[in-house]
Structure 1
């Protein structure tokens, strides 16, 4: 036995490291002695991932509440002031409201900074060990701790605690064991394929760039250090066999011409890395359907599409709420813990639901692969071009500073109805019989209106089909 702790945290990623620091900091002020916390991580080497590199303003605000904003310093991070969306050579600017700022960085450097703060927190032991299994009480099945193996050792050590928190990420090994009957299945509809562009200037510096390619997934680009710019290409499942050829042929022509050389060089020098974009709605924990003595946090419990960069914002916001609730809790009293976890679930719901729904709704619109979605995509672009509240509202949702599913539903269906208006009124590409290089744009003729009325119904129905299941997955009771 390696020791008895108050709390074991499995996984020293974003959520695990931040929670270890937060619990130590809060309880040091409330208790005579701080909690004894063991933070276990398979490898304490710097992680290397292609996602988790963009922190929205809402996530920056959560870091500040946790006293961890200094983790963004000294890692060559880049301030982000908003987005620009590129479609068919046109660009629309979507700034964060009220001077709010996000931040982009190499994921591994940020994680290492969080781990370092956790190591310095009173009562926290950071242990490099692979957790192999949960330790359960034979009679009650309550989780009492974990067995883990340190590097270069085959012997399993036992770590015991009154509470075990699982934060081992999207590929969690213990999700099934903890959630039991309450578990929902994760689904994967697409992948992000990433490379690093070297010394590249985006159309708007210090802004995330979203390029829309008709019939293909969106491309997301943002600078993550002085010399590195991340490019993520969304590819629908299954991934094409010739991935490089797909990107060169079907994606690159839709990017700004100034980026073509950098993309070609990156594809020649760097291997294309893939990450599944999974959806896992959160299920209320505690009660009789989840395992006593253990809870989940972060991607091990709740996942959404990384297109909007909201994952870390949700995780850090979860830590802010959960750490305050746990500070005065009796971990051995599972009835009390169940009530606490229910309070946490519903307190986090406005932000997590907004980010989760928005991530997949935007992916469906930006990755339009049928005629009705293409209408919604064009309408969305035109909606942003209107500026004012048509930009401020959506980007506040995206930034994680307006946690409101109601506001999200308002803007989503405002886009849907505006898309229908655009379909009737705005000029659209037509066949240019004069053989001129200049594209011919014509408004619909009045005799086309009956067909457009029918199409309007199918477009609105498509919007409902996109939004409805996502909303239901967040509001249904378990």
Structure 2
């Protein structure tokens, strides 16, 4: 009987030791798997760190808020942001009351404090000289609940600062170039640091929040994005709006214009420009557009061309043809009547028609040739007359080319930015 009892005890001890050994093997295997999934690589040399649960790409509104929320839940979060300096953009400057309630829910409501944010209680609409106010229905909410308008960059920096106060949230500056995929599963990201070093970062979960200009979205999906128009923004300083604590919407032609305060002294103006693209400031397209499409207005082009031509004609020159052109111009203007009124109307801006300018300019040249050939033409005078016409052409045509032939003579054919093709 005793041997059966001892045998049972011995068997139980052996079974217990076996279970403990099996459990230890499972834990070791689990740790190996976790360390395999959570690791980083620098210049191709892998190293295990095992300190990241989630990688978030982008530290904008979504990325910073998500990092703080997940960090509060105890997750170990790494946020990779292309530029951690304060952004200067015109997006995300007006937070609706529903958005403020979400900030309260996420314990982020203090991020709109200390950034000179302005309360927004509704909108004011303007059309054809009339206006009406639309107020948010906030009666059932706490008095602090309202919309907020602010500098987007200040708001984002406050959210980043709050997320980084958590010990398990780490913000890194780097540009994510691609997602790391194995067997159809995203394992992490490849990113380049500020110094140019390429790093493979791994985590069980990767969340992409890199905004509307994402370079990763194409690897996940191919959405068809239609851009009917673009906003062009400017800041008005010390400008008072008609309705305090309200966004202002002007129903203009062809598209709306928005005004709202973003600080106690600044008002944001957003002009909706129809079309899928506006000229870029960064690569110089805007400067070219302003010079070639906006600046050459009819009056300005005519005056600029006339001023340039008159300067070259009136300046003394040893060239015989230029001398004759100068004399012809003086005598032509001395004739009075149309010969004087026409050029003066062009110079004074009363006549913006470029064709009139060209006609008067060549009338001066032909008048000069006539003076040379009368009363008796000679080979020398014929030669000087031909040079005079050539000189006149050499003066006027380069100036017209610089101003733009289409802009001066065919302004209706100059392309513009439309929401849809222009109506015939």
What residue in structure 1 maps to residue 340 of structure 2? none
Q: Counterparts of 1:160 and 1:187 in 2: how far apart (Å)?
A: 34
1:157 corresponds to which of 170, 181, 199: 199
What residue in structure 1 maps to residue 217 of structure 2? 175
What residue in structure 1 maps to residue 184 of structure 2? 141
Instruction: Check whether the contact 1:60–1:69 (CA below 8 A) recurs between aligned residues.
Output: yes
Q: Counterparts of 2:125 and 2:149 in 1: how far apart (Å)?
A: 18
What residue in structure 1 maps to residue 173 of structure 2? 128
Q: Which runs of 5+ in 2 are unaligned?
A: 1-39, 42-48, 140-144, 280-288, 298-418
Cα deviation, residue 155, structure 1: 2.0
Q: Counterparts of 1:96 and 1:42 in 2: how far apart (Å)?
A: 37
**Equivalences for 1:321-360 in 2 at 5 Å?**
none
Q: Residue 212 in 1 paired to residue 257 in 2?
A: no
**Equivalences for 1:79-94 in 2 at 5 Å?**
79-94=119-134
Q: Counterparts of 1:96 and 1:244 in 2: how far apart (Å)?
A: 45
1:106 corresponds to which of 143, 151, 164: 151
What residue in structure 2 maps to residue 53 of structure 1? 93
**Equivalences for 1:243-258 in 2 at 5 Å?**
none
Q: Residue 116 in 1 paired to residue 161 in 2?
A: yes
Q: Counterparts of 1:111 and 1:95 in 2: how far apart (Å)?
A: 27
Q: Counterparts of 1:368 and 1:169 in 2: how far apart (Å)?
A: 26
**Equivalences for 1:363-402 in 2 at 5 Å?**
none
Q: Secondary structure at the match of 2:138?
A: helix
Q: Residue 66 in 1 paired to residue 111 in 2?
A: no
Cα deviation, residue 121, structure 1: 2.2
RMSD of the alignment, in Å?
A: 2.5
Cα deviation, residue 66, structure 1: 0.2
Instruction: Check whether the contact 2:164–2:170 (CA below 8 A) recurs between aligned residues.
Output: yes
1:16 corresponds to which of 23, 45, 63: 63
Q: Residue 232 in 1 paired to residue 274 in 2?
A: no
Q: Deviations over 1:403-442 (max 9, x none)?
A: xxxxxxxxxxxxxxxxxxxxxxxxxxxxxxxxxxxxxxxx
Cα deviation, residue 245, structure 1: 8.9
Instruction: Check whether the contact 2:177–2:216 (CA below 8 A) recurs between aligned residues.
Output: no
Cα deviation, residue 187, structure 1: 1.2
Question: Structure 1 length as normaliser, TM-score?
Answer: 0.47
**Equivalences for 1:182-331 in 2 at 5 Å?**
183-214=222-253, 216-237=254-275, 239=278, 241-242=289-290
Q: Counterparts of 1:203 and 1:191 in 2: how far apart (Å)?
A: 26
Cα deviation, residue 368, structure 1: 12
Q: Counterparts of 1:92 and 1:103 in 2: how far apart (Å)?
A: 21
- Structure 1 runs of 4+ with >6 Å offset: 243-246, 367-371
Instruction: Check whether the contact 1:6–1:37 (CA below 8 A) recurs between aligned residues.
Output: yes
Q: Deviations over 1:280-302 (max 9, x none)?
A: xxxxxxxxxxxxxxxxxxxxxxx
Q: Counterparts of 2:133 and 2:164 in 1: how far apart (Å)?
A: 41
* TM-aligned CA distance change 1:369 to 1:102, over 3 Å: farther
Q: Counterparts of 1:220 and 1:155 in 2: how far apart (Å)?
A: 43
**Equivalences for 1:370-449 in 2 at 5 Å?**
none
Q: Secondary structure at the match of 1:98?
A: coil
Query: Which structure's CA Rg is the greater one?
Result: 2
What residue in structure 1 maps to residue 135 of structure 2? 95
* TM-aligned CA distance change 1:243 to 1:203, over 3 Å: farther
Instruction: Check whether the contact 1:217–1:368 (CA below 8 A) recurs between aligned residues.
Output: no
Q: Counterparts of 1:186 and 1:160 in 2: how far apart (Å)?
A: 31
Q: Deviations over 1:298-349 (max 9, x none)?
A: xxxxxxxxxxxxxxxxxxxxxxxxxxxxxxxxxxxxxxxxxxxxxxxxxxxx
Cα deviation, residue 23, structure 1: 1.2
Cα deviation, residue 188, structure 1: 0.8
Q: Secondary structure at the match of 2:99?
A: helix
Q: Which runs of 5+ in 1 are unaligned?
A: 28-33, 250-366, 372-478
Instruction: Check whether the contact 1:20–1:37 (CA below 8 A) recurs between aligned residues.
Output: yes
Instruction: Check whether the contact 1:147–1:158 (CA below 8 A) recurs between aligned residues.
Output: yes
Instruction: Check whether the contact 2:275–2:420 (CA below 8 A) recurs between aligned residues.
Output: no
Q: Secondary structure at the match of 2:236?
A: strand
Q: Counterparts of 2:150 and 2:257 in 1: how far apart (Å)?
A: 18
Cα deviation, residue 122, structure 1: 3.9
* TM-aligned CA distance change 1:101 to 1:162, over 3 Å: same
Cα deviation, residue 141, structure 1: 2.8
